[in-house]
Amino acid sequence: MTTDPHKDEHYKEPDVDYGESSAKLWSIYVDTTKKYDRALVENWKGDMDGILLFAGLFSASVTAFLIESIKLLQTSSSATSTDVLVQMSLQLAALSNSSLAPVSAYQHVADTPAPGYALRVNILWLLSLLLSLLCALGATLIQGWARNYLHAVEYHTAPHRRARIRAFLFDGIEQSRMKSIVDGVPAFLHASLFLFITGMQQHLYCNQYLANYKIELAMSDTVDLCSLACKAEAVIISSC
């Protein structure tokens, strides 16, 4: 396992003569990359702030719906309770009137099974909640990484050393495809929203709250169009 030579206590930086002209070159590089790095980090942190806010509110909403939908999976015991009360009444009547025939033993009545759509709705909403929480976790990790990156880049005061560390760290950004990871967090949040809306459609349609299936399709198309419009706007703005 390799270690960072700059953190090794026995490491000694080689004596290199950086002349006045070289120092000016390093200073220009540091000043230019400093503005770029700060703008990049602030942009990522701003995006992740919005993701955290939306993911938090959305997760709370999905959790509220999920708490109610889980009740649909619980078998109904109302019929069993009614049968028990009837059986007790018959037994009391038999005790008060000895002429009645003995009451047969109570037979357990099977509980009412959960509706078939309830499992689908709960699975969709549970996946939606998990994706939303993963987005919040990813946004938090990206914010922490951005702070650490900026601190590591600006830690040293010597221009030549600062420039080399910055080049090393930025090369790691390119190789790890950090930009794709940052762009992927909103995509997972869109997928979470899509799963929640799909579960809502299943719930409303199976409970006959929607008079027409076309209304359900219109809801889905509207959300898809809004999502595509937002993505197209972001692409156009970034290309300008």
| Tens-place pLDDT, residues 165-176 | 777 877 777 777
Question: Would you call 127 helix, strand, or coil by DSSP?
Answer: helix
What number is the average pLDDT over the span 13-21? 49
The pLDDT tens digits of the residues spanning 168-201 come to 877 777 777 878 888 888 888 889 989 898 888 8
Cα–Cα distance measured from residue 120 to residue 206, given in angstroms and rounded to the nearest whole number:
11
Question: For residue 147, what pLDDT is reported?
Answer: 83
- Residue 144 has a pLDDT of 84
Q: Look at residue 208 and give its three-state secondary structure.
A: coil
What ranges do the domains of the chain cover?
A: 23-73+116-209, 75-113
Q: Is 76 strand, coil or helix? A: strand
Alpha-carbon torsion, ordered 42, 43, 44, 49, to 10 deg: 80
Contact call for residues 136 and 51 (beta carbons, < 8 A) = yes
Q: Are 79 and 113 in contact (CB under 8 A)?
A: no
> Is 0.75 surpassed by the pTM of this model?
no
Q: How confident is the model at residue 234 (pLDDT cuts 50, 70, 90)?
A: low
